[in-house]
Each structure stands twice: as C-alpha cells, then as structure tokens.
Amino acid sequence: MTKIGLVDLHLGNIASVESFCLQFSPNVCKVSEENWQHELYDLLIIPGVGSYDAGVKSLTPNLYKCIFAHINAERKVIGICLGMQLLCKNSKEGILDGLAVFDTEVFSFSDFKEKLNIGWRYVDFVDNEYLNTIPQKYYFVHNYFVPKSSYTFILGKNGVMDFSAGLRLGNVYGLQFHPEKSHQFGKNLIQRIINEK
C-alpha cells in the first residue's frame, strides 16, 4: 500500500490535496514540523498556494530535513504550484532562497508582458509521444513561472510564451498546475508517477 505524506506549510490547499490523495491510498498523513519522526513515505507531496517568501519561511528545520531525507533516499517527491517553485533556487517574487533542487529561477509573466495564467490549458509532454497522442489538459492559476530547461518534462504555453508546466530530476517532480483540480487528467498523471519504477 502506497504511503503518502503531505508537507503542511499552512498555506492554502492542503485539504483539497489530501482529499485527492485518498483516491490513491487510504494511508495519507500530514507532515508538520511537530509530527515528523523521520518516517519515509513512498510519495511526499509539497502543496502550496501563496507567496514565495511565505513558503520559504514555512519550510521549518524538520520539514527541510524531511524533504531532503526523501530526496536522498530516492523516494518520490512532488511539488505542486508554489511547492514546485520552492524546489527551485529563488524567485523574482521574493528575496529568500528556495530549496535549489532544480537549478533554475522563477520569473513573473508580467515582466514579459503576459497576463496571469488561469484556467484549463493543454500541455505537451516532452519526449513522450504516447501521452501526446491523447490531448492532456490541466488547471493552472499562477503569475510566476519557470522557463523551459533541461528539467522540463511538461511544456505549457501562456500567450506566446512557453514555460515549464512540469519539472523532473530523478524521482523529484514539480507540477505548476493543480492535479487535484484537474479531474481525471490530474488523477491519471499522479497514478502514472506512483506506478513508475
């Protein structure tokens, strides 16, 4: 049975992510500064909605240790929305340093004359023709983005700009969209990540 841990940053949508995760396993646990006892989960999810610096400040010492314990043990880690951005080096939204798992920065669409990216968007999976045979769409709400790079495994578009809708480095994934709000598309993707060897 898959054990899923949810990093509780006390920012935004953890209840909806928890409900979403219960579709994959009844064994879902919120992980906080107070309750992490060095347990390793099969899948660790970092959800988050809010500002970058608030997110960084919420990464208390035990949560920081928890995230890197999972990465070092090659357990699967998924950052969602702000959680993905926190896995990057830093953001133009704030002044604090992120976790720097992905050696890349977060930029603002407004600096490139693009609007807030909100709503359902079709995406392209990089180097995965099988997934691209069926149009895949997910629900986005964000004004800050990560540019396309070698980490990009899902490519999105806002206006004329390409951006990283999904990042990957080994067993660490970042999803800029909200799989928990993306109905069957989101469920199918998370199931694929869980099942991937």
Active-site residue list? 81, 178, 180
CA distances (Å), 172 to each of 101, 175, 195, in order?
8, 10, 14
Q: CA 30 to CA 60: how far, in whole Å?
A: 15
Residue 143 and residue 151 in contact, taking contact as beta carbons nearer than 8 Å: no
Instruction: In the chain, count H helices and then E strands.
Output: 6, 12
Contact 42, 80 (CB under 8 A): no
